[in-house]
Structure 1
Amino acid sequence: MKGNTVFKRSYNQCLRRLTAHDIGAALPSESDLAHTLDVSRTTVRAVLASLAEAGIVSLGTSGRALVRHPLEADYFPDMQTLSAGAAVERRFMEWILLGDFRAGQLLNAAELARQFGTSTTTIREYLAQFQHVGLLERRPNSAWLYKGVTPDFATEIYDVREMFELRATRSFIELPDDSPPWRELDAIEAEHRALLANIGEEYRRFPQLDERLHRVIHETSNNRFIIDFYDVISTLFHYTYRWNRSDEQQRNTVALMEHLDYIEALRSRDQRAIDARCRKHLRTARATLARSIEFGPFRSQPIPAGVST
């Protein structure tokens, strides 16, 4: 079981939720945990047993309770919690956005498949996602042109993101209070407050919370174009933000506070308040991306003369 990706991912998810609980607090039932983590009760039992073995929870006859808060060392490394497809995605994004890769360069699907240990078909399907948003352009002979993350690209992407997210909030607030997305929002809010209380040590955990909050909103749209779009931009932007880490703690703190304001507006079900706080947060995120692009100037250079687009 310890070598199982699903188990490790569920274990880490459970740890993140426990950070928002008080010491001695009772844990949710196996059924509730299985629903929250979207896994079987068998997996939940294995997670609970490992948490008890690590001294994080107690499993006494009187019930399950939190003994101590998780430490960074308690988590499995991120790469051990990824599916094969997600692992390829992670390696590709690190290679193209964190390496010395310039706008105008060509990618070859067959070479990428060999480099990342996967099939050419998998690579082509993955690259096609970025073709849809204009980051890549398909060329003959399995080649792809990387067009770069430029300020104009960021502006266009954020215009679409704002439109899609505002539409998704309308679906979200129509859901009943006891629906799974609202329960997930409760957990996300609690984790925001726990992270703020320990922001000096754990501020780099913010991207995971950011992705979860916006994803739970987008997915309630039940619109495959909105959901697919968010799959691409969440991956792209979280890697691009890493170009500039000079003020990472400060900007993550600001974003956490804006998230809490956004969540408060969602709870009010007041669409005008939701629109205002969503737009404010996305303006901040847009400015963060713009500053990050400045720290990766070689990625935003114009496509060299002689390279057609």
Structure 2
Amino acid sequence: MSAGQEQDLKSDLLILRTSSLTGALERELEHLILTGELKPGERLNEIQLSTRFGTSRGPLREATRSLQAKGLVDIIRNRGVFVRSVSPDEALEIYDVRAAIFGLVGRLLTDVVTDAMLTELNDYLDRMDRIASSQNFDEYYPVNLAFHDYLVTSTGNKTLLQEYKSFVNKLHLCRARGLVQAGGLSVSNREHREMVDSLASGDRYRAQEAFFRHVERSKHRFMSTLKATD
């Protein structure tokens, strides 16, 4: 190997390591934001984060730029990086668009649903019923997210999945506990059963309506929490 080729290889390896580190930092920061450890409006302290993750500021800044593209942070010149805040009005608009997209998920799934998928979905429902009986929001929430993620992923439509996740991530930034405050977790899971039943029926329009209606009801639960805090 010539000196030039060796230098090119070293450069390629450096780029690969930097890219892998940036991706890992992006995933970790996203987790901290979506779990609420980094709260809406909070400034990301580069010194603290670089110390915490044992990295330089360069990959950290690349990671925050990716998070900005996902709508999870705002980068304000001469001020820094802040976890994005989603206003109630914006959240309601997101719910409307999410309802339309989720209705499409239901319609597409009826064409590809299998007995194995229905078994998996019913396992999710049974697990959520057990958790709902204790009204444990913190335990219910991640299972609920996994259930919805499974539905959207199962369509096989990667573009749909990407767009859906971007809306869901933004709604995480206003983590309202409307499920508990407006009728209970069991109400939400009854709607989930309606959705799965509609898939089992093979009726595309029934499924589209059931999936759309679920997000609409979630929107109303969110609205009720806003009224309760007025």
Q: TM-score of the superposition, structure 1-length normalised?
A: 0.52
Residue 89 (structure 1) shift: 3.0
- CA displacement 1:57-100 (0-9 Å, x = unmatched): xxxxxxxxxxxxxxxxxxxxxxxxxx986554333342443xxx
**Does 2:62 correspond to 1:149?**
no
Distance 1:145 1:87, change over 3 A: closer
Would the aligned equivalents of 2:110 and 2:207 in 1 still touch at CA under 8 Å? no
Would the aligned equivalents of 2:99 and 2:212 in 1 still touch at CA under 8 Å? yes
Would the aligned equivalents of 1:150 and 1:293 in 2 still touch at CA under 8 Å? no
SS in 2 for 1:200: coil
Residue 289 (structure 1) shift: 3.1
Higher helix share: 2
- CA displacement 1:37-75 (0-9 Å, x = unmatched): xxxxxxxxxxxxxxxxxxxxxxxxxxxxxxxxxxxxxxx
**Does 2:218 correspond to 1:260?**
no
Residue 115 (structure 1) shift: 6.3
Would the aligned equivalents of 2:153 and 2:161 in 1 still touch at CA under 8 Å? yes
**Does 2:32 correspond to 1:91?**
yes
The corresponding residue for 2:20 is: none
How far apart, CA to CA, are the structure 2 residues paired with 1:174 and 1:274? 11
Residue 267 (structure 1) shift: 1.3
Aligned letter for 2:163?
Answer: F
Aligned letter for 2:112?
Answer: L
1:275 to 204, 208, 211: 208
RMSD: 3.7
Q: 1:280-295 maps to which residues of 2 (within 5 A)?
A: 280-292=213-225
Q: 1:11-22 maps to which residues of 2 (within 5 A)?
A: none
Identity score, percent: 14
Q: 1:1-309 maps to which residues of 2 (within 5 A)?
A: 87-93=28-34, 94-97=36-39, 102=41, 107=43, 110-111=46-47, 113-114=49-50, 116-117=52-53, 119=55, 120=57, 121=59, 124-125=62-63, 128-133=66-71, 136-140=73-77, 143-144=80-81, 148-179=85-116, 181-196=117-132, 199-200=133-134, 202=136, 204-238=138-172, 240-241=174-175, 243-244=176-177, 247-248=180-181, 250-292=183-225
Residue 216 (structure 1) shift: 1.2
How far apart, CA to CA, are the structure 2 residues paired with 1:108 and 1:194? 38
How far apart, CA to CA, are the structure 2 residues paired with 1:264 and 1:122? 45
How far apart, CA to CA, are the structure 2 residues paired with 1:142 and 1:112? 16
How far apart, CA to CA, are the structure 2 residues paired with 1:191 and 1:296? 31
Aligned letter for 2:153?
Answer: E
Q: TM-score of the superposition, structure 2-length normalised?
A: 0.67
Residue 255 (structure 1) shift: 0.7
How far apart, CA to CA, are the structure 2 residues paired with 1:136 and 1:126? 7
SS in 2 for 1:228: helix
- 5+ residue gaps, structure 1, are 1-82, 298-309
Would the aligned equivalents of 1:113 and 1:123 in 2 still touch at CA under 8 Å? no
The corresponding residue for 2:4 is: none
Residue 217 (structure 1) shift: 1.4
SS in 1 for 2:183: helix
SS in 2 for 1:255: helix
Higher RCO structure (Cα 8 Å, ≥6 apart): 2
SS in 1 for 2:184: helix
Residue 154 (structure 1) shift: 0.7
